């Protein structure tokens, strides 16, 4: 059974393709109260920056019907040195799976310093977030121009031996151009998509719900958009892709892989059902039998094979 | 944190737009001042609601839900009853108010830190405003069981909104109700009913009330805070406030904070 679910990302073996997405899983502590998180394929830990950040003013959360939510947390985190000294050792003490280190920055130098520090640590993959919609002068600014995306990619690659996966924004005219720029600059893989820039208004108070006005929309409502972008990028590049965006069931995982993803991140669904990642992993073998899939690796990008 | 299925045993309107829901099942481990997070069909996010009371399920108090006989096959049915009181303020709480007895709900329990009862002293003061009243009830009950002289001030806008005055009295608390329009009890705000004799205080209510209270009685007490939450269990950082001790998640390090660590 283990072979059926196993996948590989740039030489890193994962027991299954399911990875909780950064920012929806902290460092796993809260979920470990409910189940053994060693069942996961990997964990993408909370977006980490060079310095500690409080993030944006409250409210940071707005609901979007039954289909999702908007968040404008703004990369609240204790800073990379604190993460290396406290959160990472704590995670390693009870979790043996793949660790995806999600990093963000406000300048190329920020990314370089944070990734250089993490290069010496027991993490498996660097996930470089150039797509956070909730911070000014950084984050998404690097992910909306092919030149800037390439610059960050090359700069990070120069200071690390870890596989570098660039996390892309959907808030662009042409995500394929950004993906190709990252590939040309030496990225080992891609993760897409981050949240979609959105807004809600409190019609009684006549003002935006989110204190920061706009925020990142996530949840099952963005799944078709994410799937389409994963498929476009899979057809245009040869990099492994971690598919992300609105995934909330084992069926969604299969669909994302058929579109071209090698692994799949679960985001907002973790926040509404903290058991969802485990439930998806438990459900996959039966669903594969039903769909006559022997190994998950057989279906990666299967809709792209003519 | 626990994830469990609880069965609605009662869901009644007890004041204007205010409902009391009783939920049977595994209620173990729940402390006064904590909250639960309820999945409501048709809503993406759960609804965080403060704990009003937890009691052991006594045989005579168990009513058979007419359309959910299967719950009797579930041993959890016998473990306890959780009472929550919520105000209908939007689509989620509106949907909750329509749920019939017997409905099974997916609930996260044992969330947040709860009040520190060891600091109460002999004459604790409990101040609740509006839907900040419910978390005071289980606290008052346990403080009474510890033999404390509990004074309770309950603040509302008007008499149609008043609830639980009698329930607090039955616990043996010294109860004062205030209404802003004077239609019931003392006219004015909770701060109009202070006597300055408390050994310690516990409070929950709207921010303007909490600010006024802290100005009037100082910081020798604990405050339960409310913020818009994403997950309610510490994962999303949606509800983090700044405190004198650095950033803290209302859902995880809170919702109860020492009054002197708040930056209001």
Mutation target for B interface from A63, A203, A270: give the one with most B CBs within 10 A: A63
Q: Looking at residue B60, what is its pLDDT?
A: 39
What value, to the nearest 5°, has the Cα angle with vertex A151 and ends A147 and A157?
A: 145
Sign of CA dihedral A43, A274, A215, A50: negative
Q: Looking at residue B65, what is its pLDDT?
A: 47
Architecture label for domain B117-224: 3-Layer(aba) Sandwich (3.40)
Q: Looking at residue A141, what is its pLDDT?
A: 80
Are B43 and A64 inside 8 Å of each other by CB? no
Task: Give the residues of chain B that fall short of pLDDT 70.
Answer: 58-78
Q: Looking at residue B56, what is its pLDDT?
A: 82
Residues in B touching A58 (Cβ below 8 Å): 227-228, 239-241
The complex scores an ipTM of: 0.94
pLDDT in tens, B88-103: 999 999 999 999 999 9
Are A30 and B45 inside 8 Å of each other by CB? no
Q: Does B240 touch chain A (CB under 8 A)?
A: yes
* Cβ within 8 Å of residue B2, ≥6 positions away: A34, B26, B29, B108, B109, B110
From first to last of its 306 residues, what are the pLDDT tens digits of chain A?
468 999 999 999 999 999 999 999 999 999 999 999 999 999 999 999 999 999 999 999 999 999 999 999 999 999 999 999 999 999 999 999 999 999 999 999 999 999 999 999 999 999 999 988 777 766 678 999 999 999 999 999 999 999 999 999 999 999 999 999 999 999 999 999 999 999 999 999 999 999 999 999 999 999 999 999 999 999 999 999 999 999 999 999 999 999 999 999 999 999 999 999 999 999 999 999 999 999 999 999 999 987
Q: Looking at residue B68, what is its pLDDT?
A: 45
Are A272 and B234 inside 8 Å of each other by CB? no
B1 → chain A, closest CA residue: A33
A32 → chain B, closest CA residue: B1
Are B108 and A61 inside 8 Å of each other by CB? no
Q: Looking at residue A251, what is its pLDDT?
A: 98
Fold adopted by B2-111: Elongation Factor Tu (Ef-tu); domain 3 (2.40.30)
Half-sphere exposure of A73 (CA within 13 A, CB side): 28
3-state secondary structure chain B: CEEEEEEEEEEEEEECCEEEEEEEECCCCCCCCCEEEECCCCCCCCEEEECCEEECCCHHHCCCCCCCHHHHHCHHHHCEEEEEEEECCCHHHHHHHCCCCCCEEEEEEEECCCCCHHHCCCCEEEEEEHHHCHHHHHHHHHHHHCCCCCEEEEEECCHHHCCCHHHHHHCCCEEEEEECCCCCCEECCHHHHCCCCCCEEEEECCHHHHHHHHHHHCCCEEEECCCCCCCCCCCCCCCEEEECCEEEECCCCCCEEEHHHECC
Q: Looking at residue B58, what is its pLDDT?
A: 56
pLDDT in tens, B134-151: 999 999 999 999 999 999
* Interfacial B residues in 37-96 facing A (CB < 8 Å): 39, 42-46, 92
**How far A53 CA lies from chain B's nearest CA (Å)?**
9
Q: Does A32 touch chain B (CB under 8 A)?
A: no
Q: Looking at residue A2, what is its pLDDT?
A: 64
pLDDT in tens, B233-256: 999 999 999 999 999 999 999 999
Q: Does A270 touch chain B (CB under 8 A)?
A: yes
Q: Looking at residue B61, what is its pLDDT?
A: 44
Q: Looking at residue B78, what is its pLDDT?
A: 56
Q: What predicted TM-score, i.e. pTM, was given to this entire model?
A: 0.94
Q: Where are the domains of chain B?
A: 2-111, 117-224
Are A271 and B42 inside 8 Å of each other by CB? no
Residue with tokens 């003392």: B186
Q: Which domains does chain A have, with CATH numbers?
A: 2-57+74-197+218-304 (3.20.20.70)
Are A271 and B45 inside 8 Å of each other by CB? yes
A-B Cβ pairs (cutoff 8 Å, strict):
98
Q: Looking at residue A137, what is its pLDDT?
A: 65
């Amino acid at each position: 059974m283990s072979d059926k679910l196993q996948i590989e990302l740039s030489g890193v073996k994962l027991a299954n393709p399911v990875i909780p997405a950064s920012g929806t899983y902290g460092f796993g502590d809260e979920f470990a109260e409910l189940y053994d998180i060693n069942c996961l394929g990997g964990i993408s830990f909370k977006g980490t920056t060079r310095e500690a950040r409080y993030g944006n003013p409250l409210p940071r959360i707005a609901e979007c019907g039954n289909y999702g939510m908007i968040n404008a947390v703004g990369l609240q985190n204790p800073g990379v040195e604190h993460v290396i000294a406290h959160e990472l050792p704590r995670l390693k003490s009870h979790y043996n799976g793949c660790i995806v280190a999600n990093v963000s920055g406000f300048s190329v130098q920020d990314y370089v310093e944070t990734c250089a520090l993490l290069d010496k640590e027991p993490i498996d993959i660097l996930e470089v977030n150039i797509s956070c919609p909730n911070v000014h002068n950084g984050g998404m600014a690097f992910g909306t121009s092919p030149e800037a995306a390439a610059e960050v990619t090359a700069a990070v690659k120069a200071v690390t031996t870890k596989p570098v996966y660039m996390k892309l924004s959907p808030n662009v005219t042409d995500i394929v151009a950004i993906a190709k720029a990252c590939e040309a600059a030496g990225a080992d893989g891609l993760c897409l998509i981050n949240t979609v820039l959105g807004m809600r208004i409190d019609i009684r108070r006549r003002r935006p719900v989110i204190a920061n006005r706009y925020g990142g929309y996530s949840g099952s409502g963005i799944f078709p958009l994410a799937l389409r972008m994963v498929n476009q990028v899979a057809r245009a590049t040869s990099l492994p892709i971690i598919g992300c965006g609105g995934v909330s069931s084992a069926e969604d995982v299969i669909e994302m892989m058929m579109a071209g993803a090698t692994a799949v991140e679960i985001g907002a669904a973790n926040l509404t059902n903290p058991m969802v990642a485990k439930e998806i992993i438990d459900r996959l073998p039966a669903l594969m039998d039903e769909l006559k899939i022997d190994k998950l690796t057989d279906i990666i990008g299967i809709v792209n094979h003519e | 944190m626990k994830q469990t299925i609880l069965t609605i045993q009662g869901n009644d309107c007890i004041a204007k737009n205010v409902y009391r829901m009783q939920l049977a099942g595994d209620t173990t481990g729940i402390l006064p001042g904590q909250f639960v997070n309820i999945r409501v069909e048709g809503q993406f996010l759960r609804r965080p609601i403060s704990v009003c009371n937890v009691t052991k399920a006594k045989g005579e108090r168990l009513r058979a839900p007419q359309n959910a006989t299967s719950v009797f096959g579930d041993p959890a049915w016998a473990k306890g009853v959780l009472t929550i009181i919520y105000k209908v303020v939007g689509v989620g709480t509106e949907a909750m108010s329509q749920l019939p007895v017997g409905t099974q709900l997916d609930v996260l329990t044992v969330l947040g830190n709860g009040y520190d009862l060891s600091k109460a002293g002999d004459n604790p003061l409990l101040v609740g405003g509006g839907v900040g009243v419910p978390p005071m009830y289980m606290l008052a009950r346990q403080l009474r069981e510890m033999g404390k002289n509990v004074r309770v001030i309950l603040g509302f806008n008007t008499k149609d909104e008043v609830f639980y005055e009698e329930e607090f009295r039955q616990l043996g608390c010294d109860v004062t109700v205030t209404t802003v329009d004077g239609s019931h009890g003392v006219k004015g705000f909770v701060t109009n009913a202070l006597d300055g004799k408390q050994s310690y205080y516990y409070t929950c209510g709207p921010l303007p009330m909490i600010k006024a209270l802290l100005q009037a009685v100082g910081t020798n007490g604990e405050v339960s805070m409310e913020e818009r939450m994403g997950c309610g269990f510490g994962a999303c950082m949606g509800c983090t406030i700044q405190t004198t001790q650095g950033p803290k998640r209302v859902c995880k390090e809170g919702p109860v904070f020492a009054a002197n660590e708040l930056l209001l």
